[in-house]
Structure formats: structure tokens, C-alpha cells
Amino acid sequence: MNTILFQLFGALATILLAFTVGMFYGGIRRKIIARIQNRVGPPIYQNFLDVIKLYSKETSIHHGAMQHMGPVFAITASITSLMFVPVLNGEGWFWFKNLNFSGDLIFLVYMMVFGSLGMALGAGQTGNPNSAIGVTRGLSQMVGYEIPFVMSMVALMAQFHTTSITGLMNIQVQENTWLMFSNPFAFIAAVLAMLGMFHYSPFDIVHAPAEVASGPVSEFGGKYLGLMMSSGSIFAFVKLTLFVNIFMGGAANLIELVIKTFALYLIPVLYGVTSPRYRTEQAITYFWKWPLFFGVIAILWASF
Amino acid sequence: MVISPVQYIAIPLMAAFLIPLFGKLNKDLARIIPGLVLLYLSYISVVLMNQIISSNTIIVEIIAGWRPPWGINLVFSPLTGFLASMFSMLGFVIWMYTYNFKPEVDNAQKQKFYVLFMMLITGATGIVLTGDIFNLFVFLEITAISAYSLTAFYRERDGAEAAFKYLLIGSFSSTLILLAILLLYTQVGTLNMAEIALKMPGVDPFMKGVILILFFVGFGIESELFPLNGWSPDVYTQAPGPIGAIFAGMVVKAGIYGLVRVVFTLFDVKEILPLLVIIGMITMAVAEVIALRQGKLKRMLAYSSIGQMGLVAVAFGIGTHDSVFAAIFLMFNHAIIKGMLFLSGTYLVYNSTEKTLDDVDGIGKHLPFTSFLFALGALAIVGMPPFAGFWSKLYLLMAAADVRLMTVIAIILVVSVIEIVYYFRVIHRIYFRERISTIELKIPSFNAKLAMFILAIIIVAVGVYPDLISGFIERATTDLLDKQSYIQSVLSVGLK
Amino acid sequence: MNEFLTISFYGTAIVLMLIGLYAALAKKNLLKIVIGLSIIDSGLHLLFVAVGFISNGTAPIFSPEVLESAQQMVDPVPQALVLTAIVIGFATTAVALALVIRLYKHHNTAAIDEIKNLKW
Amino acid sequence: MNSLILLLILVFGGALFSYLLNKFLPILRDGFVVLLMLLVNYVFFTMDSSTQIDFEMGGIHLQWAFTSAAFLFGIIVSILGLLSIIYSTAYMKGKDRLGYFYMNFLFSIGSMLGILMSRDLISLFFFWEIMTWSSYFIVIYSGKDVDKRGLKYIVFSAIGAYSMLMAIVIIYGFTGSFLLTDIFDSIFAIKASYQLAIAILLMIGFGVKSALMPLHVWAPGAYSGSPMSFTALFSGALSKMGVFGFALVLFNLVSNQNWLVNEVIAWLAAITAVLATFYAVIQSDAKKLLAYSSIAQLGYIVIGLASGTYLGVMAGLFLAVLHAVFKGTLFMAVGAVERQAGTTDMTKVSGLIRKMPWTFTASLISIIALAGIPPLGGFVGKWMLYEALITSDHYYLVIMVFLSSTAAFLYSYRILFGLFLGQEEPEFAHVKEAPLPMLIPMLLLSGISVLSGTFPGFILEPIQDAMVVFGFDSRIPNIEWWQLTVLFNSWGDKVVLQNVMIAIMGVFLIALAFITIKGYRKQRYVTTKDISSSGEIIQPEDNMTFQIDFYKPFERAIWPLLKRRIDDYYTDLGNGLEALFDLVRRIYNGNGQFYAIYVMAFLALLLIAGTKYFGF
């Protein structure tokens, strides 16, 4: 009984951490972009305000059960993924232990997809063509970036003969190295793939506000949008933590975690801030050129 | 009445000449007599087969009191007996089918038809049963002449053209065989097949080769081997439907029997066997390929028939016990299955003049029974289980694998794919196209249905339980390959 | 003399067969083809007789006088065969001619290369 | 009586009887076939596992036995058979030639059971051919474009079957036996070159049925063109016979000596999976989409088997079972849409979710299972497959599978969106939910999809038994591969499905409760025309459907891969052959004299050749 309670509280703590960090990162990003574009920009806690506002708004219409469940799927996916990602190294802090011995990297890769598909289904039922267009773009782009990403994952797994995240983290602790140095090509491929994962410019055709009215979420408002935003923030944290865990030696404490994740976060934020966005097929072919090449090299590196 | 193999020849021949006479008495009698004759022949087949199988002997019938090698003799052995029985029984089924076939044909014509029909059966059975090589030639000519005439039976078709082609090639066949017999006679001085076989080792190899080649080409024409088979597609197409069944079931079977008897018993020259395999393969490949591109139903069946004969030739050519077994099984299967295809196919294009495949579109709804049997026959002939054709093909492939003839297996199977394609195409047309042709359909009479149904039952029964027939075929195979016992039992007759 | 006779028998037979063959294979007219076939037959029949022929031989009838000189008897079998063969040849020719008539009525021509309704 | 024979007699006899019944008493037909299948299931599941029968037929020693492998695949056949028959009773209502349909349907079920029971190659081939023609007759049963579809199916089936037959007779030629047990003992004696030939021939034989590229071209047409009730069985069970053959004969028999064969097949299967998925993505007909998806899924299964590791084969077999379950459901669901809405063209039909909620639920579950998303069954199979491939060093194969699975999300979404989501068009306002006999099989099968995600042990248990038949002794690696809800790989990593399920369901239910309870009363349903569109008001007659060229950007990205289709090559080949055959026909030019010349030329040739080659 006690353990279950502990686990529940631990899970809640992790979610809170992820939510907060994710929200702040989002705010910081808005600020950075504003500065680059020579604007003042909103305060970095703006995202919190937005979410609170959204939750407090009343939602008066819906288009059916699937729309109702779409955001739920999204938040389920991000929180569940979070549960299976170790937040800190080793035994870490038991609050953040969660379920990370129950799943492995491949499970996580699939779990992360769950959310986008669920959200896409929700968006689908609204009947808004913009949503559907956004979804097709998002899914197509996903095929592009998942391949180099998985290649780098496979390279790591092959190199160290483990498929579990904790296994990879332990190796880094034991050998006192970061995997981004053990297999640099895998890291490059993964980071390039991450650019696509975040849907930031220039890969932001999915919810290009000017063309498709924010794409998938265009028909969502109020509590739905709030849930989606929360899910997005948690998900950003999940992705960053995962990368830190497997490439950058994990983190011994929260400060280290924040520093490392933030450093990593700057890459997708700053990459191509000023560049025009890629069309979907351009994005796909982008990912299937250099990232793919690095992926292949990474696997070769791993297998010899 | 004493039962003896000579009745196979005497009775139908006599019936052939008596039919016009009885026809004068009562016009139905001319139609009934052949049936009675064939029924009786089937009956004596059962009795005689039973006799030779149970006593494990061969019946050698001496004609006119001269014992072999001087007189003509008939040999009722497991092989010849099996074929003769098959001919009689198939003949009976086909008679049943012809009984009410084309009621509009006038009576005199019908009488002629049955006269020729009886002659054909006499000839084909005679070829198989005789133990004298010249006698074999005579029966071959009886068969051929009646076959020419039957091919041209319908005046309104192009029967005469087909018959003339058949006659032209057939004359070459008979000339070559006659020449071969003559040369053979100069070498061994006898016409009795057993004695020829006995004396054969002493013959000059050059002459032996020439004679064999003459026989090969002569009988090759009758058994539809490529490139000697120019006549056959036309003949199958133009002859009356049931006669097509007889050609497939008897005439060419008798031809290939002659070929095989000469090669295996008389000469026993193993060098010719690869030639038989090669020719068989070419025959099969060419025929099936053409059948694939045929737009006419009967012509397609004809080419398919040629292809099957090629397969039989391949099987004989491999020359092992197993392959000969497969060959005889194939002959049996082809006789009943192709027989049924011709019988049912005839009704599918009964009133059509062109007999194209378009005429069978959607006919399944209108002639369900006939269509069903045709489909069954098509499945059987391409070797689909659980029908008879499956086993013979399987045995052949097994025999070929035993002697490592992988190329042969490959070609047979490739050709089988082609076969499947064109037969299934017809089935598909029968059942799943809309009928657009306005040609009036002919519902088969009851006896025709019964005839087809009997064949279908045999096909399924043999397919589900091949042991039904494989015992006889096994005996026939042993009989064919055991030259010594053939010579001995023929020559020892009457020596007591 | 005897040899010459034998050779001339064989020679004639073979020449006849070749002539017939030529007619059957090269002539376009149906009748000529039938005649060619007949000539082949005749040649073959002659060959049969030639094979059985022994010069100065006697008829193959067993009688007391010839019993001791059975070697000198003409072989009776080919003669018997040739009789049968002639009958068969006759029948074939008859059928052939009947067919030619039918074909001529049907196609209004006797040229074999124009009678090609059935092909492929 | 031996229950094996009883089973076969039951099915085949029942098939004939159902035909006659349809002729004379059509009212009883539906009840009879359902009852018959229930009986078949009863006999099947009560059969003693040691049931075996040896007999001789036509001089060939045959053996049938109820092995654990037969049991595994038999589960698919009998249960899916029963459910699709139940489904048929409603789906086929009002169509003609039902006797014919049910007869061939039952023939295929019977022949599949026969294949599974066969312990010798002749019986295997015997039933294989019955399966081929009976399924062919259903493939051509209805639909448009039947000629081409049927022709493709039968040509490829025939090529496959005869390749198999050739391999069988070669094996027989060397070992002198058709019995699997004998062959396993003596196969090593065969020369290596012949072993390779056998492997290739068997690969073609089983590859055709399991739709391996480049032998797959029959599959899209055959799957999408048959009545959906049969396609459920066709794609679910019949194609698994190829998989069964691969597992039983090819990998077991030949390729354990020959790793190259395994590699080649695995790569072919991987290419199949990727390309078929891409084709599925660009389809606009739901049936075609599922057909291509089936091909891709069969690719995964074959990859698993070809990996040759314990985990890989287990993954393959698990996916085989699962694929039958979810693809069966999906074909049934699409069939339901076809029957209720009249079309499965996704550019026409849309927004059926509110009309057919249960069909949608079944489809949703099956799609999640298909996409391999946790916590449903598909994930279990995918996980095992990936782990097996990674731990056995097939890294690039993993990438191929991943590419295919990721692209599979695209069509997974497409089919749900295309049929059920999106704009609710007024022309489909009349559509009603499918009748119960169609719903029950779908929902039962979806239930299996759900359960197998958390408790795969129930399916892995018979698989483990069956693997002994396929040449894997479970005790030898001495590694625990699974518990009821836990999976392991050979590096000792694991996934605890129970925890996954608890986490997902926990979060899902809490979030759902939250979002539902919050402001529930004040929310109301609005139609899909009532959407934001930059301030313009959309009228009911405005067409806001986005369905045409759904994945155009993706299509443009992968276009170089799809430009030239294998189909085209086959078409060219076919046309070339036809032209050649027509040339051959010219031999018979109709002039009798020519034929006579052929004869004399042949004679002359033989006489000349005779002196040269035959030695006289």
C-alpha cells in the first residue's frame, strides 16, 4: 500500500516537474524568438497564464466523442511516456523513479507516437479541413524524422547491447563518458531528427498559423486546448530528458538536468529561426538525406 | 456363349455391317445395336480382366488355327486388356451420349454415323489387341478411314477440309508404317510381334535404326506428336462432339500404344527414348502455348489434347517403371477427362457456328449441369486435387525426379501453369460473365447428362481414391516392360 | 540379268515413290495430290513384291514336285500383304476423292493453299 | 472414428451439403453453415493432441497428425472461420449464388485445416491446391474487374503451387519419401546446389501465398475484390498458410543450413513491408488500402520467421495470430461500411462515426493494434520483432521495419479519418449501424486485440508449443522469453505490459473524467459544418471535405520509389509472351501440304540425326 502511494506521489511530482519545466521552456522560446525578431515578446511565464485562462474558460460546443477523447489521448501519451523515462541517474531521487524499469527504448518510441495519432483522431472528427491538412502534414513529416531517430537509437542499442534507457545511462555512469562522444554520428542523426520532432521553424508546416489556422488544433479551444498545451509541454520535457539520458550522461540532480535539457533545447529553437519553412515533401527529403546518412554511419560505427 | 478376345473385333465389325440392314427393319434399331454391342464388350472386358488378373496369365487367342508365329493372334494381356476395356466402356458411355444427339439429323445419316462409329471402335480395339504387326497396320487403316469419314460427317461445316488434311497426313503415316513393316520383314522374316522381338537382337543396327524411325514417325502422326500433328486441331474442331471424345480417348491412344509397343517390345532400343522425351516436351509446350491463345472452345480443347499426348510421350520416354505407370495413368485420365470435356463442351457451344469462347459467356446460369461438369473436367485435367488428373501428374513428376530430370519437371510445370490459365479462363467466362450471345441453347438430353455424369463420377472417384485404378495400371506397366514374358507367353501358345 | 531385274524392281519402286512424294508435297491441286498419294502407294506395293521376288522362283504352293526346292519358292507373305495394302489404298483413295469433290463444291477451287478456313 | 477424419469430412461434406441446401431449402442455409462451423470448432478444440493417422494412398505413404503447430494455426482458421461465416450470414444477405459461395468458403476452410494437419508433403500439396481453386472461385465471385483480378490470382497461385510441387518432387527424388519426419532426417544428404534450388522453389511457393514481393501482385485485387466476409478469412487465415509453410518446411527444412536464404527472404519481406505500406498510404479505396496493408503485415511476419532466432519466430507467429485478429476485424468493418453506405471509396464516404459507432470502435481498436501502439496486442508483436532483430544484429532490417511501421500510421489514420471522421455529408445521413451478426464478430475480435496487449501469455503459450514443431526446442536456449504479462529479449531487457496498461488506463481515465466532468452540462453537440473558417459562415451545402489527394506531399516525397510498378513489368512480360505465342500459332497455317512437309522434313531430320546421334 505504501509503495503504491509513494509511486503515485512520485508520479505526480514528476508530472509537475515536467509541466513546469516544459512551460517555462516554451515561454523562454517565445521570448528568444521575439528578441531575434526585434520584438519585446511576452513574459516567460506567459504560457502559464495562457493555460490557466484556457482551463477557466467554458467550452460550449463539441463535434463528437472522438474530439472529446483526442486531447485525452494526447495527455495520456505524454504522461505515460514520462512515466517510463528515468528523470535522474542511477537510483536518483525516488520521487522520480516511476515505472522506468518496465519499459525500454522501443516501447518509448512507440508510446511517443500514440499521442500524435490520438490527437489526430480528435482533430479528424471536427471536420475542419485545416485540421486534417495539418494532420497529414504532421504524420508525413513524422515518417521523415522518425527514421534517422530510430537509426541512432538502433546504433546505440547495437553498440551497447541493451535496449533499456537505464541500461544506457548506467553504461555512461560506469564508463564515465557521454554516448554523444562514443557514437557521435548517432548523436548528430538524433539531433537532426529532433529538429523535426519539435515542429519548430523551419519544420512548422504542421500548424503553420497563417495557412491552416494552427492545423490540428484549429477546432479546439478551452479545456481541450489547455489539455493539449499541457500535454505539449510535458512532451517537450520527455523528449529533452530522453536525449539527455541517452546522449549526455543523464543528470545526477535537477540542476544538471535543467542545464543540459536547456542547452539541448536551444538547438531546435535556434536552428532556422529566420529561415522560411519547408514544405512537407521538402522536410521529408531533408530528413532522408544527411540525417539518414549519419544514421547509416552510426549503425556501421556501432557494428564494427 | 464362350467369351474370347476375338469378339472385341468380330462383334462390332459384324454390327457395323448389320446396322444398315437392321435400320431397314426399324429405324431405332440402328441406334440401339451399337449400344448393345458396346455393353456386351464392356461385359466381356470385366470378365476377361478378372480372369487375367486373378490367374495372372495372358490370354493369347489364335485365329484360324495357325499358332504363332504363323497365324495372326490376339493378345489380351493386362496392358492390352486394360486399353481394350477402357475403349469399350468409354465407347459405351459415348454411345449413350450420342443416342439422342442431334435429333434433326436424318435417319440414313445416323446409320452411317453408327456404322463408322462401330468401325472406329473395331479398329482402335484391334490395334491394341493384335499380336501381328501387319494386322496392326490393317486395324490402323480401318480406324483411319472411318475417322476421315466421321471428321467430314457434317456437310455444313469445314469437315471435309479437316478430313482431307487428316487423310493427307494419315496416308503418309500409313505409307511409312507399311514401309517399316516391309523393311522389318526383310530383316526378320516374320510379322508376329513376339517373334520379331525375339529376333530383333540379330538385326543390323543401321536397319534397326531406320525402321524404328519410320515407325516412330508413322505412329507419331497418329499420336499427335509435334510436328506431325497438323491434322489434329482441325479434326477435333470439325468432327461431331462425341467423335472428338473418341479421338481423344481412343484413336490417339491406340496410336501411342502402337508407338510404345514398337519401341518397348519390338525394338527395345533405349536410345530412342530421349527423343521421345524431347519431342513430347516440344509437343506439349507448343500445343499448350497455342491453346492459351485460342479463341475457340473446341480448338482449345484440341490443342490441350495434343499437349496431354505430349505429356504421355514424355512419360513413356523416361522409360522407368514408375514413369510408364504414370504414362498409362495419364492415358486413362486423359481418356475420361478429355472425353468429358468434349462431351460437355459440345453442349456449351451446341448451336454456335464459330464455337468461340464468347459463346460460353455466362452460360453457367442456363446450362448449370453441363457447365458444372465442364468446370469439374477442367479442374481435373489441369491436375487439381481431388480429381483424377492430379495423381497422374504427380506420378509422372515423381518418376522424373527419380531419374533427376529436373528440366523436364520444370517444363511440365511451366506448361501446367499455362494450362491452368486457359482452363480457368473458360470457367470464369462460363460463370462470371454476362451472357450476350443470342444463340439458342440446347439442353442436353437425359442420356447425355447421364453419360457425362458417369465420367464425372469416375473422375472424382479416382481422384479421391486412386487405388481404385492403380492396381490395373500397375499390372499393365509390368506387362509392357516385361518383354520376355510377352514373347514367351505368345510363342508358347498351342505348343503343348 | 537377275541382278538387273532386282535392281530395276527396286529402282522403279523408289522412283515411283519419289514421284508420288513430289506430287503430294509440291502440287497445289487436290486431285494431283491424291494422285501423288496413289503413286506412292503403288511404289510401295511394287517394293513389297520386289522384296518377295526370287527370279526363277515358283509359286508358293506346296506340291510334291516343289517340296524339295522350297528355297526356290517366292515368299508368299509379301504378296498376301500387298493384296491387303492395295485394298486399303483403294479405300483411302476413294475417301480422298469423295472429300475432294466435297471440297470443290464447298470452296469452288481445288487449290490446297486456298482451302485454309481452319488454321492457327 | 478418428476425429481428424471426422473434422475433414465434416467440413467438406458440409460444404457440399450447404450447396444442395441452398438449392432446395435456402431458408436453412445460414443456420446450417453457422452450426456446422460451431461443430467444427467443437471437434477442433476437443481433439486429442496425439491424434494421428497413417495410411497409404496410390502407393504413397501419407500421414496426418494434429500437432501443436496445427493447433496454433488451426485456432486462427476455425475461430476466424466461424466468425466470418456468422458475419457472412448478414453481409451476403440478398446476394445470389450463395450456395456456391458457402461451398467454396467451407472448402477453403477445410483445405486449410487439411494443410495444417498434413505431416507429409503430398497431403500438404493436395490440400494446398484445393485451397487455391476454392479461393479462386470466391475471388471471381463478384466485383468489377474480375477478369484481371482472377487471372492474376490464378497465375500466381499456379506458379507458386507448381514451384512448390517441383521442390516436393525433388525432395522425393533424393530422399524417397514424402513424410516430413523422414525428410528432416535425410535432407542433409542432398547436394548443396539442389538444396538451394529447393529453397528457392519453396520460397516462391510459399512466397506467393504470403504475398512476398515480387510475387504479391495478385493480392491487392484479390483481397479487395472478394466479398469482405471472405477477405477477412483470406487475409487473416489463408495467407497464413504461406507463413505456416515457411515455418514448417522452408526454414525448418532447408535454410537452417543456409543462412543466405534466410537473409534473402528477410530482405524481400522487408522491402515488401515498406513498399506495400507506401502503396497503402496512397490508396483512396479502403479495401485496397487494407489489402496493401495486409501485404505489409505479412512482410513483418515473414521477417520474424526469417530472422531465425527464437524470439523472432515467436514474434512472427504472434503477429500472424494478431494479424488475423485485427485485419479480420478491419475487413469486416470495411465490409460493414460497404454494405451500409454503399461504397468504401474514401473520397466519397466520410463522417460515419455517429452513424456506426460500434463499427468505428472495433476499427479504432484494430487500427491501434495494427499500428503497434501500446497497450494493444500489435505492440507486443512489434516489440518482440524489433528486439529479435536488434539482438540478432539485423540493424538495417530494423530500420526497414520501422520505416514501414511509421508510414503505417499514415494509412491507419487515413482509413479511420476517411470512413468515420471528417465531414458528415448529408448523402450519408440515412446510414444505419450494421446488423448484429456483423457487429458481434468484429467486437469479439477487437476484444482479443485488447486482451492480447496485456496478457500475451495466452497466445504465447500455444506458440511456444508450436515452435517445437518448427524446430525450436524451447528448453535449449534456456532463457525465459515471456511471462503472462512480461516480455524479455535475449539481453535481459524487458517490458512489463501490466504496468504499461495500468499507467495508460490510469492516466486516460483520469483525464477523460476530468475533461468530461468539467462543464459537461453546458456543452452541446454541433455539426461538422459549424467550424471556424476565418470568419466565413459555412452553409450546409458547402463541401468542406478533405479527402482527395490526402497524402499528396508524402506521395511526392516517395514518388521515385513508386514510379514504375512491378505490375507494369508483369504486364509487359505478359504482352511479350502473348505476342510470342501468337507467333507460335503460325506453325499451324492451315495448309495441309505444309503439315505433310513438316512430316517429311521431320523424317529426314531424324534419319540424318539418327546416323549421327543414335549410333546406327
Show the DSSP H helices in B319-445 as ranges: 321-348, 368-381, 388-402, 406-432
Residue D255 has pLDDT above 70, yes or no: no
Residue D257 has pLDDT above 80, yes or no: no
pLDDT at B92: 92
Q: Which of B74-83, B239-248, C89-98, D177-186 has the lowest mean pLDDT?
A: D177-186
Q: What band does D613 get if pLDDT is binned at 50, 70 and 90?
A: low
Sequence-distant (≥ 6) Cβ neighbours of residue D411 within 8 angstroms: D277, D280, D281, D283, D289, D292, D293
Q: Give residue-wise pLDDT tens across range A64-107.
A: 788 888 888 888 888 888 888 888 776 655 556 666 666 678 88
What distance lies between CA B106 and its chain's CA centroid? Answer: 29
User: Is the CB of residue B150 less than 8 Å from the CB of residue B166?
Assistant: no
What pLDDT was estimated at residue B139? 92
pLDDT tens for C13-44 read 889 999 998 988 888 888 999 999 999 989 98
pLDDT at D12 over 80: yes
Distance from CA of A76 to the nearest CA of D (A): 5
The pLDDT value given to residue B152: 87
d(CA A199, CA A219): 19
- Answer yes or no: do C118 and B158 touch at CB < 8 A: yes
Identity of the residue in A59, A107, A158 whose CB atom sits nearest the CB atom of D519:
A59
Average pLDDT, chain D: 84
Can you list the domains of chain C with their CATH numbers? 2-114 (1.10.287.3510)
Averaged pLDDT of chain B = 87
Say if D496 is an interface residue toward chain A (CB within 8 Å).
yes
Is the CB of C119 inside 8 Å of chain D's CB atoms? yes
- Per-residue model confidence as pLDDT tens digits over D417-468: 888 887 877 788 888 888 888 899 999 999 988 888 888 888 888 888 888 8
- What is the mean pLDDT of the segment spanning D126-152? 84
Q: Which of residues 181-200 of D touch B (CB under 8 A)?
A: 197
Nearest CA-CA distance, residue C65 and chain B, Å: 23
* Distance (Å) of CA B450 to CA B30, B374, B444, D450, D490: 21, 14, 10, 57, 67
Contacts of D73 (CB under 8 A, 6+ apart): D112, D116, D237, D240, D241, D244, D320, D466
**Are D32 and D40 within 8 A, CB to CB?**
no
Least CA distance to C97: which residue of chain B? B164
Asked if residue B421 belongs to a domain, the reply is yes
Asked if C51 and B191 come within 8 Å (Cβ–Cβ), the reply is no
Rounding to the nearest 10 degrees, give the CA dihedral for residues B345, B348, B351, B356: -80
* Distance between D244 CA and the closest CA of chain B, angstroms: 20
pLDDT tens for D25-53 read 888 888 888 888 888 888 888 887 778 88
What distance in Å separates residue C9's CA from the closest CA in chain B?
15
Give which of D407, D400, D418, D405 is closest to D360, Cα–Cα.
D418
- Chain A residue numbers with beta carbons less than 8 Å from the beta carbon of D372 are 110
Whether B353 maps to a domain, the answer reads yes
- Kindly state whether residue B310 falls inside one of the protein's structural domains: yes
Number of structural domains chain B divides into: 1
Q: What is the pTM of this model?
A: 0.90
Higher pLDDT, D182 or D359: D359
Average pLDDT of every residue of chain A: 82
- Determine if residue D351 is left, alpha or beta; phi over 0 gives left, psi from -120 to 50 gives alpha, anything else beta: left
Q: Which chains touch C (3 or more CB pairs under 8 A)?
A: B, D
* Predicted pLDDT of residue B298: 87
Distance (Å, whole) CA A152 – CA A299 = 7
| Partner-chain residue, chosen from B209, B395, B420, that has the shortest CB–CB distance to D158 | B420
Range of lowest pLDDT (B162-171, D172-181, D184-193): D184-193
**DSSP characters over D428-451:** GTT--PPPHHHHHHHHHHHHHHHH
CB nearest to C117's CB, from B138, B158, B178: B158
Q: Is the pLDDT of residue A4 over 80?
A: no
B333 belongs to a structural domain: yes
Partners of residue D57 in chain B, C-beta under 8 Å: 465-467
CB < 8 Å to B424, chain D: 136, 150-151, 154
Q: Residue D615: is its pLDDT beyond 60?
A: no
Nearest CB partner across the interface for A125, out of D353, D534, D550: D353
Q: Looking at the complex, does the CB of residue D585 fall below 8 Å from at least one CB of chain C?
A: yes
Rounded CA separation D454/D449 (Å): 9
Mean pLDDT of D204-220: 86
Residues of chain B with pLDDT under 70: 1, 64-69, 494-496
CB contacts < 8 Å between B and D, how many? 158
**Residue A163 is nearest to which of D396, D423, D489, comparing CB atoms?**
D489
- A224-253 pLDDT, tens digit per residue, is 888 888 888 898 888 888 888 888 877 778
What's phi and psi for D146, nearest 5 deg? -65, -40
Whether residue A140 and residue D556 make contact (CB cut-off 8 A), yes or no, is no
What distance in Å separates the CA atoms of residue D212 and residue D583, rounded to the nearest whole number? 33
pLDDT above 70 covers a percentage of chain D that reads: 95
- The DSSP code for B433 is S
Is residue B354, in this structure, part of any structural domain at all?
yes
| Interatomic CA distance for residues B69 and B58, integer angstroms | 16
Q: Find the range with the poorest average confidence among A112-121, D120-129, D281-290.
A: A112-121
Q: Which whole number is the average pLDDT over D168-178?
A: 85
Q: Chain C: nearest CA to B426, how far in angstroms?
A: 19
Give the per-residue pLDDT at D225. 83
Residue B103 within a domain: no
Across the interface, whether the CB atoms of C120 and D589 are under 8 A apart is answered: yes
User: Is A75 within 8 Å of D507 when comparing Cβ atoms?
Assistant: yes
Q: A245 and A169 in contact (C-beta within 8 Å)?
A: yes
B174 within a domain of the structure (yes/no)? no
* pLDDT reported for residue A213: 60
Task: Determine contact: B278 vs chain C, CB below 8 A.
Answer: no
Give the whole-angstrom CA distance, residue D487 versus residue D375: 13
* Subunit partners of chain A (3 or more CB pairs within 8 A): D
- By Cβ distance, the residue of D150, D607, D614 closest to B271 is D614
How many folded domains does chain A comprise?
Answer: 1
- Going by C-alpha positions, the residue among D523, D481, A253, D59 that lies closest to residue B395 is D59
Residues D409 and D371 sit within 8 Å (Cβ to Cβ): yes
**Residue numbers of the domain that contains B351:** 271-464
Domain span including residue A30: 2-303
d(C-alpha A221, C-alpha A225), whole Å: 5
Can you tell me the mean pLDDT for D354-380? 87
